[in-house]
Structure 1
Amino acid sequence: MLALFTDFGADDIYVGQVRVALLQHAAAGTPIIDVLHTAPNYDSQAGAHLLAALARWYPPDCVFLAVVDPGVGSERDAVVLQADGQWFVGPDNGLLSIVAARAARTRAWRIKWRPAALSASFHGRDLFAPIAAWVSRGELPPDKLVERRGLRVQLDAGDLAEVIYVDHYGNALTGLRAGNVPRNARLGIADADVEYARVFSDAMAGQAFWYENSIGLVEIAVNRGSAALQLGISVGDPVHVIGGGESAT
């Protein structure tokens, strides 16, 4: 299985080109799953926490093509990461580092191969896609990869007390793992102070609350409304844990 995680935009011209590149090199019949193409633009830190939360729902041996790459065309490395049986192909800019830091077993390779035709601005299509396809076939071509000790860019693997994604409902996902936040804690976000609710229907219509979402993260929502609009929040806004024992900020 190949899984795509990018900030390319689902409605732009880029995802289709990446999928064609994958199909040219992957084994026939390999499933290609669109995990997300609206990761926060240019934000490798938010993307790293979101990718780590999503990846655990995918099977062993899944190959993630993960691209949030504002440094494309620069001297940043291109890498392959194996983490607890899953595979990740992408830039070494912190995007893969949360997955790596939270894994029990990892291996890493620098991609030394460069195709004859390589767009300076589209490594997702020309460089990462062929490598991801070869990895999905069980191939680690020694003329294309050099094993090394780990990733060069490593972000803090602890919880991130910020908004990392806003979905089309206006729900704000944070980088806080819900298991680390007491249910009796309140969250401070912008000028709001919100309490926990188990599900949307436990809150009144129009009421803001936080809950544990389906991928295990703290999410701030409004029942039948948009938390982003009602509270005036966006990606990167800090979140403060108030009361309930230990603070995650």
Structure 2
Amino acid sequence: MITLSSDFGTPYPAAMKGVLLRRTDARLVDVAHDFPRQDVRATAFWLREVLPYFPAATHLVVVDPGVGTDRAAIVVEAAGHTFVAPDNGVVVPAVREIAGDDFDVYEVAYDDDGTASNTFHGRDVFAPAAADVHDSPTIAGVERFSPTEKFVDLTFPTPTVDEETATGEVLVVDDFGNVVTNLPGRLLDGLDRASVDGEVVPVRRSYAAVDAGDRVVTVGSHGNVELAVNRGRGDDAFGLSVGDRVTVDHA
């Protein structure tokens, strides 16, 4: 199985699939191709939340603001999963979620004959590498993959937490408008309400536990504090965007 993730929208993923289908008979599974454009951190967050639920597979990931530059292309081998991606940190949180720190990184040699496009490495570099990964008995056996200790790391910011106050930031906003913070959900334990940036909001276990249109603080499926509106958009109601600072206090 080869999964595909990108910020390409359409039709570019079809070209990657065409390359893969000409080189391998692997089952192809789309994760998403509408990740926020060129947003490595947001994509890394969602991949960490999604890819560990797959059985062992080859994961082709292309969110690549540095395409055409000297950034490396890498393959990461981790607990039966293999990731093929630009070396910008986009797969590292998912790798660590699956395998902790027990993983191996390889740099991919490419463009030896000058045929790779400078603007579409998804088709010309990463898709061929993913096919090689899928069809090779061992990663180390692929001649153009070289072991390396160097890779771009990516971690999420750590919130500041004291006895009754926590300050963090917005990591992502999902398609429903739910505001996902980096604050751990345990901060809401035992609370019936919380102060979010100075405004008191009910704390509930689900969105529908408040009336339609009302704001709510809850713990999302990712385990973090989430700011939402039942049948509405939390980002609009709370006036928050990705990267904004958020303070949650006991109310």
Category of TM-score, reference length = shorter chain? 0.7 to 0.9
1:188 corresponds in structure 2 to 196
- Give the Cα separation in 2 of the matches to 1:122 and 1:33: 20
- Contact residue 136 and residue 142 of structure 2 kept, 8 A: no
2:162 corresponds in structure 1 to none
TM-superposed CA distance for 1:187, in Å, is: 6.9
* Correspondence list, 1:156-171, <5 A: 156=155, 161-171=168-178
2:67 to 60, 72, 75: 72
Amino acid at match of 1:108: V
Pick which of 109-118 and 192-201 moved more: 192-201
1:47 to 34, 43, 68: 43
1:202 corresponds in structure 2 to 209
- Give the Cα separation in 1 of the matches to 2:13 and 2:58: 16
TM-superposed CA distance for 1:25, in Å, is: 1.7
Change (3 A) 1:156 1:25: same
Please state if 1:36 is matched with 2:32: yes
TM-score, length basis structure 2: 0.81
TM-superposed CA distance for 1:226, in Å, is: 1.4
Amino acid at match of 2:155: D
2:23 corresponds in structure 1 to 25
- Give the Cα separation in 2 of the matches to 1:36 and 1:19: 13
- Contact residue 2 and residue 136 of structure 1 kept, 8 A: yes
1:57 to 50, 53, 59: 53
Secondary structure of the residue aligned to 2:53 is coil
- Contact residue 192 and residue 231 of structure 1 kept, 8 A: no
- Give the Cα separation in 2 of the matches to 1:233 and 1:198: 21
Secondary structure of the residue aligned to 2:204 is coil
The answer for unaligned runs of 5 or more in structure 1 is 245-249
- Contact residue 83 and residue 99 of structure 1 kept, 8 A: no
- Give the Cα separation in 2 of the matches to 1:8 and 1:223: 31
1:14 to 5, 12, 15: 12
Q: Deviations over 1:84-121 (max 9, x none)?
A: 22111101112122234443321110001336421101
Change (3 A) 1:187 1:173: farther
Secondary structure of the residue aligned to 2:126 is helix
Change (3 A) 1:98 1:16: same
TM-superposed CA distance for 1:149, in Å, is: 2.4
2:94 corresponds in structure 1 to 99
The answer for unaligned runs of 5 or more in structure 2 is 160-167
Change (3 A) 1:212 1:143: same
Secondary structure of the residue aligned to 1:56 is helix
TM-superposed CA distance for 1:124, in Å, is: 0.9
2:149 corresponds in structure 1 to 149
- Contact residue 219 and residue 226 of structure 2 kept, 8 A: yes
- Give the Cα separation in 1 of the matches to 2:131 and 2:199: 46
Secondary structure of the residue aligned to 2:127 is helix
TM-superposed CA distance for 1:123, in Å, is: 0.6
Secondary structure of the residue aligned to 1:170 is coil
> Which of the pair has the greater relative contact order for Cα pairs under 8 Å at 6+ separation?
1
- Give the Cα separation in 1 of the matches to 2:150 and 2:247: 32
Amino acid at match of 1:89: V
Q: Deviations over 1:149-208 (max 9, x none)?
A: 252x11235657433433332223344554x5443384736x755443211221221112
Please state if 1:242 is matched with 2:249: yes
Change (3 A) 1:175 1:68: farther
Amino acid at match of 1:22: L
